[in-house]
Structure 1
């Protein structure tokens, strides 16, 4: 059986090399090879470098890396980390879920006032609810909102094989389980509750809503993964083979992928700072993960009319990671009577992390304005 799997693996790798890139894409790939190597974190001592180079497949090394680098992360020169933390109360916790996995979560609350509402965050593919989101959560808390976030199993500091999504529906069930439990807390149960999804987290948020159609006050969707951009998806013939091989080798890292940071971050300096996100999953997608994400976007694309909650959809006009035209279709087809779509000229995928400072401030201001309006409307 091992020899059979190795043979399949070798054939599939050769197939990907031959079939994934069109002639035009091969030319781009040749050009890419002569580009400078990825930026590495400079100025770290030998012990920190050893931690950084450890295998992140299992969670102990990810947790060790985050603990070692969290102060370094918060000290980088990025607008999100210039947000003061004095007025914010935080709490980090680990909790074993119904599937026996220890899941990491974090909350940010205004220190001296009761929150206007609670915002429940769904992070993007490969990401974590720490690092860049730490700055966003602080800004939300200082604007009067309580924030609760988690790392999905297999991501960040939650248990599970790094970057592995055996079932997207199961991932969503994990989110529903933890967020429903938090919403029952007497301190927050009467407050409006909003989902906040970025990229793949937008798909998570939409599926949470579809499972709980009457449980949420609204959703903020930033570059939601309603459809993966065509340029990021292998050709149909490769996709068919990928789906078949994923049944045999689900955890293998074989799916070709462009550099997501290069595609998502418009500003070079901010793109280089992605290196500091030391527990993000940055390798090739695992086969089962890629199949689950593709299936999820196809499912969502066919259920846009079932979306009924108030929502704010934000997308960069030049996003080449998730398709802005499908965000527009979501806005047009959703049955929500309360919906708003903003498309930002010249902006790329990472609207809140990778754009020039003035664009990040503009996007964040649009989010706060929408949340404030929807809290004022509540009786």
Structure 2
């Protein structure tokens, strides 16, 4: 299995590390390129990965056999970058949109103390009722999943029309061979539904600092559940912003004016977190150095 990865680096020493988790049917290097460039220009090293069955990675397009395996792939790649010597002292942020928001929450669940913060854009904590099939259809399709898991027969509205406000972006998504536009495959839909229900039940387990952004007119994921996440999460540092009139895709798909508002909020939050985190690190290093003392023979001893 070959997984495609990409990165955008600032011209100077990065303030911190940001790891991108793209949405269902999307990919990182083209669709999230604008996000990567914006954040790199703001001074951050940005890394992305295309999930199995997505973008330029291997696998049946649009097929998610096991969501846990998808999260594990992201975790191994992202933590490997964090553990490099040059990155060992840098703050670590995970950023996800839509289904990528669910990936972020599960990465946090896998290693609760590892990440310094998360940016969640219209996270998939619950699939909106307008998109989700009725319970009878769900029950029937769940049984079929065991027999024909890769079939594309889930009856859903056109997500492209619902997610992206700007017609030019809709056309770009439809024209891209790396974006999946067909009906959801049975196993994929089952995995997305199962994960969203699981996350919705465990919102109170979220403990890391986070910035949560959602469009008020989102018809793909439910803004009310984002509000519930903000209320239930045990994080002491959490911010929720609801943008009236905005649609589902906040990083790409809104008007230029709205996109500037969203990224201004993101970079402001990141800069505040890195300034606080780096100041804390400097204090800890200074405290460590102050605890060391050189005696008359030139040996360094620890002062208790």
Structure-to-structure mapping, 1:84-123, within 5 angstroms = 101-111=1-11, 113-123=12-22
Q: Is the partner of 2:130 in helix, strand or coil? A: helix
Match for residue 181 of structure 1 among 76, 80, 86: 80
Please state whether the residue corresponding to 2:95 is helix, strand or coil. Answer: strand
The answer as to 2:228 corresponding to 1:324 is no
Q: Which residue of 2 aligns with 1:262?
A: 161
Query: Shift in Å at residue 188 of structure 1?
Result: 1.3
1:351 paired with 2:250, answer yes
Query: How much has 1:275 moved relative to structure 2?
Result: 2.8
Q: CA deviation at 1:298?
A: 0.3
Show CA shifts across 1:1-49 (max 9, x none).
xxxxxxxxxxxxxxxxxxxxxxxxxxxxxxxxxxxxxxxxxxxxxxxxx
1:159 is displaced (CA, Å) by 1.1
Q: Secondary structure at the match of 1:283?
A: coil
**Equivalent in the alignment of 2:202:** 303
Q: CA deviation at 1:180?
A: 1.3
Say yes or no: does 1:191 pair with 2:90.
yes
Secondary structure of the structure 1 residue equivalent to 2:239: strand
Contact 2:216–2:242 (CA under 8 A) maintained in structure 1: yes
Taking the aligned partners of 2:250 and 2:78, their CA distance within structure 1 comes to 25
* 1:130 CA displacement: 1.7
Name the residue aligned to 1:220: 119
Is the 1:153–1:159 contact (alpha carbons within 8 Å) kept by the matching residues of 2?
yes
Number of residue-to-residue matches in the alignment:
278
Bigger shift: residues 325-334 or 278-287: 278-287
List aligned pairs for 1:1-379, cutoff 5 A.
101-111=1-11, 113-378=12-277, 379=280
Asked if the contact 1:131–1:277 (Cα under 8 Å) also holds between the matched residues in 2, the reply is no
8 Å contact from structure 2 (residues 174, 181) kept in 1? no
Cα RMSD (Å) of the superposition? 0.9
CA distance in 2, matches of 1:279, 1:357: 24
Q: For residues 92-146 of structure 1, what are the alpha-carbon distances to aligned partners after superposition, in whole Å with 9 as ceiling and x for unaligned?
A: xxxxxxxxx11110111112x1100000010000010121211110110010000
Tell me the TM-score normalised to structure 2 length: 0.90
Q: In structure 2, what is the Cα distance between the partners aligned to 1:276 and 1:133?
A: 16
Partners in 2 of 1:274 and 1:246 — Cα distance? 27
TM-score between the two structures when normalised by the length of structure 1: 0.72
